[in-house]
Chains A and B, each alone.
Chain A
């Protein structure tokens, strides 16, 4: 097989996989929240209600597509696409496994190992905000525009702490490439802890996690769509599959963010203390590393759901206050200390 064919397969596979997880996530969200709230959740369509997302998809596809009068038509159509695309594209740099040897050919389980993977992630998450603000603006509705504006302010504010948290990781590992970082996290640290970013950078991890919640517009940071205040915020006027794209993009975003969390702070595909490569064949090793990665990712995906159904929502000014007055100073101090330590130890 030619290289481009392998790349194509990888691209198709990871897109399909991300889509699948996102689809299942909508089901997990509803079932898990139901279980936390002493309810049952959707359990009619298919076994355990697993076909519910499919039914929802069919519903969304077959609904009438309404573009409100006096909406900016082109932008209105562009909004959801701009929102969903960057979320998908983030997967390009996520190392979802180590490598797999098929037919003597070593395939790295990553679409492309860009040496500036970090910047790529940050840049894409910055683009996602356009989807929201354009959708909010084009809808010609006050609720939507408020949601769009909130989204802009929130995402821009939380990109800074996110960047600061990521910078500490860059300082630690000295590279921008996600694959390199994962490789450097193998082995142990201080003799007994796994050599994970989480143990080396707990503060950075917390900042990153909080910022990730804010970037994903999840409770407690779901101000842009805050259904009790802004109806549904920036996508109030959307219907049919355009709405579906927004909702879906959110989950794709979640999957991407938890994948990045895993590769930066939790050692990616590697198991702690155990080197799977030693006792597994090349093919099974590839699959195993992929599964390990997925399990770690699944934990964070569940955490997203779990937190959502536990905490209330911030207010706009409190959200800004947390970002600018707590996370950014904390991130700066953390960065400074990390830089100092790195300088002293090397």
Chain B
């Protein structure tokens, strides 16, 4: 048998007779009851403050919500995606497949870049809505929208192709629910030394090393970071 500390139960008289505290509890639930009864007789939607009458009455979704994906078009209606596949590589669930292609003759003005994605598929059954793809996208072409009702009757319909992703965008645009362009993140520039020392850690040269490597490896990376993911 495990050891158990001896616990002495010291009750006040009020606690001892059950009924006093139960009466207090009854008073509290009664208060809520009356409040909500009054609220539910008020006119208009959403009168009981904590309940949303779901299909008719929806809560406000944050503009930066990570819901169903969409492929953005720019103001001229050109596809932003250049098919670079950064999103596919950044995806931890490996749910994106992108094929890069050249726009056909005479169709160049449909695309913002020199290249385009000839196919773009997102397997929504695998997707975990982490937002890594939109963070990785250099052109801000793929974003996660505000749609959250993603159930389908067939599994095949859950694999979103390019057409569906663009139609998602058009729908969101029509409803005025586009994602705001990413705001720049204020970044701590390297020369600035930290002011608050919480952890006693040597700054180390690793950071500089990593940075160098990255700069050497990809010229674009720093610029992308400056632009930063949205939110």
Q: Which residues in A have some Cβ–Cβ distance to B below 8 Å?
A: 32, 34-40, 206, 306-307, 309-311
Contact = CB atoms under 8 A, between A and B. Distances in A.
B32 A36 contact: yes
Given A38-B50, A39-B48, A311 B37 contact: no
Contact of A39 (B26, B28, B30, B51): B51
Nearest to A303: B26
A40 B48 contact: yes
B22 interface: yes
Contact of A32 (B22, B28, B33, B53): B33
Given A35-B37, A38-B48, A39-B51, A311 B25 contact: yes
20 contacts: A34-B36, A35-B33, A35-B37, A36-B30, A36-B32, A36-B33, A38-B32, A38-B48, A38-B50, A38-B51, A39-B36, A40-B40, A40-B51, A40-B53, A306-B29, A306-B30, A307-B26, A310-B25, A310-B28, A311-B22
A101 to B, nearest CB: 39
Given A36-B29, A36-B32, A310 B22 contact: yes
Contacts of A35: 32-33, 36-37, 40
A40 B49 CA distance: 10
A106 to B, nearest CB: 41
Contacts of A206: 19
A327 to B, nearest CB: 11
Contacts of A307: 22, 26
B50 A309 contact: no
Contacts of B36: 34-36, 38-39
A35 B40 CA distance: 9
Interface string B12-41: 000000010010011011101100110010
A206 B18 CA distance: 12
Nearest to B21: A311
Contacts of A38: 32, 36, 48-51
Interface of B: 19, 22, 25-26, 28-30, 32-33, 36-37, 40, 48-51, 53
A185 B29 CA distance: 32
Given A40-B51, A306-B33, 9 more contacts: A32-B33, A35-B33, A35-B37, A35-B40, A38-B51, A39-B48, A40-B48, A40-B53, A311-B22
A310 B19 CA distance: 12
Contacts of B49: 38
Most buried by A among B25, B26, B33, B40: B33
B32 A39 contact: no
A49 to B, nearest CB: 11
B70 to A, nearest CB: 33
B48 A37 contact: no
A38 to B, nearest CB: 5
Most buried by B among A38, A39, A307: A38
Given A38-B48, A38-B50, A309 B40 contact: no
Nearest to B29: A36
A22 B51 CA distance: 27
Nearest to B48: A40
Nearest to B31: A36
A157 B30 CA distance: 31
A310 B29 contact: yes
A287 B53 CA distance: 40
A39 B47 CA distance: 11
B81 to A, nearest CB: 43
Most buried by B among A34, A36, A309: A36
Nearest to B50: A38
A307 B26 CA distance: 7
Most buried by A among B19, B36, B49: B36
Contacts of B28: 310
Contacts of B37: 35
Nearest to A311: B22
Nearest to A37: B32
A140 to B, nearest CB: 33
Contacts of A37: 32
Given A35-B36, A35-B40, A38-B36, A309 B29 contact: yes
B21 to A, nearest CB: 9
Nearest to B27: A310
A341 to B, nearest CB: 23
A35 B22 CA distance: 19
Contacts of B53: 40
Contact of B50 (A32, A39, A310, A311): A39
A14 B40 CA distance: 33
A309 B19 CA distance: 15
Nearest to B52: A40
A256 to B, nearest CB: 23
Nearest to A322: B18
A275 B109 CA distance: 93
A309 B36 CA distance: 15
Nearest to A40: B51
B53 to A, nearest CB: 8
A34 B40 CA distance: 11
Contacts of B50: 38-39
